[in-house]
Amino acid sequence: MTDHAILSGKRVLLVIAGGIAAYKSLELIRRLRERGVAVRAVLTAAAARFVTPLSVQALTEDTVYQDMWSLTDESEMGHIRLSREADLVVVAPATANLLARMAAGMADDLAATVLLATDTPVLVAPAMNVRMWTHAATRANMALLERRGVRRIGPNEGAMACNEFGPGRMAEPMEIVDAIAAFFAGEARKPLAGRRAIVTSGPTHEPIDPVRYIANRSSGKQGHAIAAALAALGAEVTLVSGPTQLPDPPGCTVRRIETAREMLAACEAALPADIAVCAAAVADWRVAGESDRKLKKDGGGPPALELTENPDILATLSRPGGRRPALVVGFAAETGDVLAYATAKRARKGCDWIVANDVSPGTGTFGGNDNTVHLIRASGVDSWPTMGKDAVAARLAEAVAGHFEGK
């Protein structure tokens, strides 16, 4: 479907907050109107200092809402109806201040009240000075909002109106239009609705003693992105995650664990499921007989750690039997001979698909945002170009949906 077909007839409530990027919101309204979107705008008091309500009104061809206490607006529309009579609420620009007020659940002006009252999905396009964006307070507010299901586009990195450089520029109007179209395209298509999925992600921590553990460098980015992508296609996702720095992906039930044995138990508790994707970097070994006291340097030289094998979660979930998910997908991170090792791994583990990638030093895969993967199925190998981990996740989720649709 073209953007126009997806967007035509949709109703967007555009909340414009007070930042210099508000000028781009005028362009955004134009591009949405061209595609047949009905746009209704709410301006904060600060926004009205950057763009005039008259411009916004002329472009939306609708009343502009600014005042909580306007008798006419409240009697004609009311802030509750205003928020509910939209298919999507878009906040652009989303300033640090408005994000903070949203995170805190404040209702101190019309924009914040509408955002608190709405049960409509919300997309924010943050725009602010780079230091404000990277400040711990904004990071925490944004992470909290994303956990609650708020979608985000941008900010982009680049030169800013305040003469600084870095992340903080509002996404370009057409990027926001594309994100809005992607939202509506996703809404229309839920090919995994009614399917249950288990996704493992992140590293495991295997204790040596009460303060030390064995771990690995997995960031969890790929696994978390897969959980979000499956949920976006309608699956009911349980994400079983080792310790990571990442926010919970929207729309997923998250089970946090530390050890491989806890990960296996959480996966088994999430059965039955139609789909299992094991993207976690599970420690192969744990310390046999971990100490319940901190090991001391007592002059006797370094302690010998005896290791014992951890359960293989992927192999366990792949075992034939009544509770085996219909589609089990494993990962193979290799550092050479990727296809040969990964193909052998598929057979050894008994899973249906393997997503293989090269994690040699220099590829930047571990902890990075990009991934170059090969999808290995019974039918053969599909090598995908290098792309962002979110894009890999979206493509994998589409392949999973295609599998169940019999494509």
> Which residues carry out catalysis?
162
* Count of chain residues binding ligand C5P (CB under 6 A): 15
Query: CA-to-CA distance for 240 and 263, rounded, in angstroms?
Result: 7
**Closest separation between CB of residue 359 and ligand C5P, Å?**
10
User: How many H helices and E strands in the chain?
Assistant: 16, 22
Binding span for ligand C5P by CB under 6 A among 48-56, 87-95, 210-218, 305-313: 305-313
Binding span for ligand C5P by CB under 6 A among 74-82, 95-103, 236-244, 310-318: 310-318
> Is position 199 an interface residue for ligand C5P (rule: CB under 6 A)?
no
End-to-end Cα separation, the chain, in angstroms: 19
**Closest separation between CB of residue 209 and ligand C5P, Å?**
22
The helix (H) or strand (E) run that includes residue 157 is strand 156-159
**Residues in contact with ligand C5P, shown as a per-residue x/- string from 88 to 127 under the rule CB under 6 A:** ----------------------------------------
Cβ partners under 8 Å of residue 63, min gap 6? 40, 57, 73, 76, 77
> Is position 327 an interface residue for ligand C5P (rule: CB under 6 A)?
no
Report DSSP state, residue 63: P
Residue from 28, 170, 332, 359 in contact with ligand C5P (CB under 6 A) = 332
Query: CA-to-CA distance for 88 and 34, rounded, in angstroms?
Result: 17
Residue from 219, 330, 373, 400 in contact with ligand C5P (CB under 6 A) = 330
Q: How many CB atoms lie within 10 A of CB 59?
A: 20
Restricting to residues 219-278, which ones interact with ligand C5P according to CB under 6 A? 260, 278
Select the residue whose beta carbon is closest to ligand C5P and give its number: 313
In terms of CB distance, is 42 or 282 closer to ligand C5P?
Answer: 282
Query: CA-to-CA distance for 167 and 148, rounded, in angstroms?
Result: 23
Query: Is residue 366 packed enough to be buried (19+ CB in 10 Å), middle (13-18) or exposed (0-12)?
Result: middle
> Is position 314 an interface residue for ligand C5P (rule: CB under 6 A)?
yes
Report DSSP state, residue 281: B
Q: What residue ranges bind ligand C5P (CB under 6 A)? A: 200, 260, 278-280, 282, 284, 310, 312-314, 330-332, 345
